[in-house]
Structure 1
Amino acid sequence: MENRSWFKIHWGWVVLGASFITLFVNYSIRIGAYSVLLPKMIQDLGINMTQAGMIRAGYFLTYILFSPLMGWLMDRIGGRFVVSFFCLFLGVGTFLMGQASNLTTAIFYHGIVGIGAAAVWTPISALVQKWFGGNKRGLALGILSPSYALGFGLMGIILPAIVKNYSWRMGWTLLGISGLILIAINFLLLRDDPEKLGLLPWGETSGSIPSPPLHGASFNYRDIIKKHTFWLIGGSYLFISVAVYIVSDLIVTYGVMELKIPYPVASTFISIMALTSIVGGFFLMTISDYIGRAKSLVMIHLLLALSIFFIIFAKGNILLLMIGIGWFGFIYGPIFPMYAACARDYFPKEVAGTTIGLLTLFYGIGAMVGPIIGGHLIDLLGTFRWSFGIGALAALLAGLLIGFLRRPGEIAEKED
């Protein structure tokens, strides 16, 4: 193996750093831009809440269609090429969002963004886990989780200033340029496998619990989807995506349209959610390494549902509303990294990317359906609160499903 002792920092941390930057920009676009700019887009494009949900659906439709492909490509040609190349779609699609003139073009351009975004979370979450040992993956993903929180959180502060001085279109344009810069960052810094550099994953020890081994010559889609654990994780992932995106996508618009809170103040809701999610992501992901993903997710989903009910009953009391949003953010922080860790814990490392890609189908369906259902209920009933209530119910269903998941060791003993 090649000697890398001259390099003082384990390359896993370089990969983690590049991944942090990539997710920062991706989630600035994915959650921050859409959530914060949506009230202005609704006014300018003359659309209703159902149509706003359709724009979001355009993003997640391409996202779920391309995510399995990205996972498959990740396992075969490596994350470095996949992430670098598809950041072109992320940047171009975001740039074009600033040129959208009607509902149709907005849906189409947001769909291009979804193609690029599909190549970010799935390959990166699998790649980072390759570079960190089994008992350090929660730590690594916990460190990674503030990236997307900082991304969409800062947008709640930065984008209102851009809108005030320019327009909502300029916000999309600048983020599109940032997305294109990611092409160079990832090509220069990402590496596909520690073994190719003569390294072990950081934190790897002889006593570490290995990933489930491959049985036979290959492990394909059929082998993954025939496992009941896949369907438990996937079903839970779908419901929690409904819950998270109904609230995160609509919280700023709820403040502006229903509560009549000034736009700059309502935009800070997304920042509060993001900043508290940083603390929650690191703290709860680290705990999950010791008490298990399933127990952690059951607890998280219950607390998330309670936080949504708190937001509903806070109504126009800004202090209570901010407390509820902060509570939601703290619990929200570790959710998606923890599902990625489940894929690595319960399936062979050689197909981690494929597994995460398949699970992302469930995530994408939930994230696509949630805002449409939520938007339609708002148009129908004239209030956001019933939509948020649907989100709370979805979180409870997610916790119920994941509660049936056993620890990896228990599953291995049963299979043996």
Structure 2
Amino acid sequence: MTQSKSSLHYGWFVVFGGFLTQIILMCGVQFVPILMAPIKQSLELSNTSAGTIVSVFGLCYAGCSFIWGYLADRVGARTAVSLAGLVLGIAVMLFGLLADSFLKAVIIIALVGFGAAGVYSATIPKLIGAWFHPSKRGRAMSTITAGGVLTGATFGIVLPQLAKAYGWQTAAVILGVLAIICTVVIYSVVRNKPSEKGLIPVGTPADQVVKAAPAIKDASFKDVLKMKVTWHVSSMFIFWQVAYMTATAFVAVSFVNAGFTAVQGGLAVTIYNLCQLIGQQIWGPLSDRLERKTVISIAGIWWTVATFGYMFVYGSTLNTMYILIGVMGVGMGMVPVILASFSDYFPTEVGGSGAGVVSTMGLVGRFFGPMIAGYAADATGSITGAFGVGAVAMLLAVLVAFSLPSLKKQAGISVGGESAK
């Protein structure tokens, strides 16, 4: 096996496929929240019913990751992510075609969430782990995750206009078709491991003697559950999810509570997301030079300090609050580093199951985070109480991340999809 003879290693085509998964993911994640107003009016939903639809999606999205991760280990990440994309695309189309009642909407959105669970964190780390040397995984993941931010920003502008012109049902069908088209391209382009192309992982040093090691014998889902690192990484991810979801839930409303308009609150969310894109391009490549647990810790401390700063200036001038929100966004750009760490800590043979279990465990923080933060806001009488919960959770995530095992002395690398020790 050799490095690619062309100037562009085929691994970057796999990254392109990963970028497309972000478009698919956004088709499932964003269409209901963005189009909630017309959907709510059309189906005559109460606020509780509308919130239930979003919650059901979230539960299936986060709760089913382990299924797709397990499937990725059994039939390959390429097949798993393609099946997941197909499920999501068809389900989004069905939502537009058939969701004419609350019950139908809940059933179909659960299917959308199930598909969404398999197109990102449960499968992509396994692919990147196979195709990229550890020294290049951060950059690869930061390139992939940029797709989600860019697609989300685009959908925020385009979807309302599309729904206004043709109706939310047609908009949903169009998104479903887009997801299916992206899925077909992914299946056509992506391969499970570089050995299928006669290559070795991107970034493997030219003078490094590499021998493909045999797969771990009898590797199974149970083995992942027995690994200490599974619960170590999961603990970090749970605390991180509390911080992540707290910001997601309360950034916009915090501006409204401070006396600004909903439009200005929406702009704050846009600033936060775009600054995450900047952070992704900083922290991802940096994690290829420093240990990923160190970069996660640095980015986490950055976000925590910025959050405390936001709490301090809260209620002051609009521009000052925008600046602090942007700084927070840069810190939260650590997402690709966290996903790259999944590739580092789990052998390729169980990389899907490992990432899937951790992603599913994140449901704890994803579900309880906004709830606890909201309680803190009510108890303190200020929305800053919610951000205080997020800051404390991020500090805990930093402490757990910093205590993760060191990977400096890895004895081997992954070659052609097999784990070398």
Which TM-score applies when normalising by structure 2?
0.83
Cα deviation code 1:4-42 (max 9, x no counterpart): 85x664221211112112213313542x44554457767
Aligned equivalents of 2:307, 2:172: Cα separation in 1: 29
CA RMSD of aligned residues (A): 3.6
On the 8 A contact 1:212/1:348 being kept in 2, the answer is: no
Secondary structure in structure 2 of the residue aligned to 1:396: helix
Cα deviation code 1:139-179 (max 9, x no counterpart): 21122221111122223333444466566666544433322
Spell out the pairing of 1:14-413 with structure 2 (5 A cutoff): 14-27=13-26, 29-30=28-29, 32-33=30-31, 36-37=34-35, 45-48=45-48, 54-98=52-96, 100=99, 104-121=103-120, 122-162=122-162, 172-205=172-205, 217-255=217-255, 259=259, 261-263=261-263, 265-312=264-311, 313-315=313-315, 317-335=317-335, 337-374=336-373, 384-409=383-408
CA gap of 1:321–1:173, structure 2 versus 1, over 3 A, is farther
Partner of residue 417, structure 2: none
Cα deviation code 1:233-263 (max 9, x no counterpart): 1111011112112222443455457745144
Aligned equivalents of 1:139, 1:93: Cα separation in 2: 32
On the 8 A contact 1:281/1:330 being kept in 2, the answer is: yes
Paired residue type of 1:261: T
On the 8 A contact 1:133/1:208 being kept in 2, the answer is: no
Aligned equivalents of 2:169, 2:381: Cα separation in 1: 28
CA gap of 1:368–1:38, structure 2 versus 1, over 3 A, is farther
CA gap of 1:207–1:357, structure 2 versus 1, over 3 A, is farther
Aligned equivalents of 2:100, 2:307: Cα separation in 1: 34
Q: After TM superposition, give the deviation of residue 214 of structure 1 in Å.
A: 7.5
Aligned equivalents of 2:8, 2:160: Cα separation in 1: 39
Cα deviation code 1:280-319 (max 9, x no counterpart): 1121111112221111111222222233334444337432
On the 8 A contact 2:283/2:337 being kept in 1, the answer is: no
Secondary structure in structure 2 of the residue aligned to 1:199: coil
Secondary structure in structure 1 of the residue aligned to 2:217: coil
On the 8 A contact 2:246/2:369 being kept in 1, the answer is: yes
Aligned equivalents of 1:100, 1:166: Cα separation in 2: 16
Cα deviation code 1:336-355 (max 9, x no counterpart): x2222222222222221121
On the 8 A contact 1:35/1:250 being kept in 2, the answer is: no
Paired residue type of 1:201: P
Q: After TM superposition, give the deviation of residue 192 of structure 1 in Å.
A: 1.4
Aligned equivalents of 2:256, 2:149: Cα separation in 1: 22
Aligned equivalents of 1:214, 1:42: Cα separation in 2: 54
Paired residue type of 2:25: N
On the 8 A contact 2:138/2:284 being kept in 1, the answer is: yes
Q: After TM superposition, give the deviation of residue 266 of structure 1 in Å.
A: 3.3
CA gap of 1:213–1:333, structure 2 versus 1, over 3 A, is farther
Aligned equivalents of 1:76, 1:292: Cα separation in 2: 30
CA gap of 1:369–1:181, structure 2 versus 1, over 3 A, is farther
Equivalent residue pairs, number: 408
Paired residue type of 1:234: S
> Larger % of helix: which?
1
CA gap of 1:315–1:357, structure 2 versus 1, over 3 A, is same
Which TM-score applies when normalising by structure 1?
0.84
Aligned equivalents of 2:71, 2:249: Cα separation in 1: 30
On the 8 A contact 2:4/2:10 being kept in 1, the answer is: no
On the 8 A contact 2:88/2:114 being kept in 1, the answer is: yes
CA gap of 1:53–1:173, structure 2 versus 1, over 3 A, is same
Which moved further from structure 2: 152-161 or 212-221? 212-221
CA gap of 1:210–1:57, structure 2 versus 1, over 3 A, is farther
On the 8 A contact 1:240/1:395 being kept in 2, the answer is: yes
Q: After TM superposition, give the deviation of residue 120 of structure 1 in Å.
A: 0.6
Aligned equivalents of 1:376, 1:401: Cα separation in 2: 25
Paired residue type of 2:228: H
Paired residue type of 1:387: A
Aligned equivalents of 1:310, 1:202: Cα separation in 2: 40
Aligned equivalents of 2:12, 2:410: Cα separation in 1: 32
CA gap of 1:211–1:350, structure 2 versus 1, over 3 A, is farther
Aligned equivalents of 1:208, 1:55: Cα separation in 2: 52
Aligned equivalents of 2:218, 2:207: Cα separation in 1: 26
Paired residue type of 1:109: I
Structure 2, unaligned stretches of length 5 or more? Answer: 413-420
Q: After TM superposition, give the deviation of residue 407 of structure 1 in Å.
A: 1.1
Q: After TM superposition, give the deviation of residue 267 of structure 1 in Å.
A: 3.0
CA gap of 1:12–1:252, structure 2 versus 1, over 3 A, is same
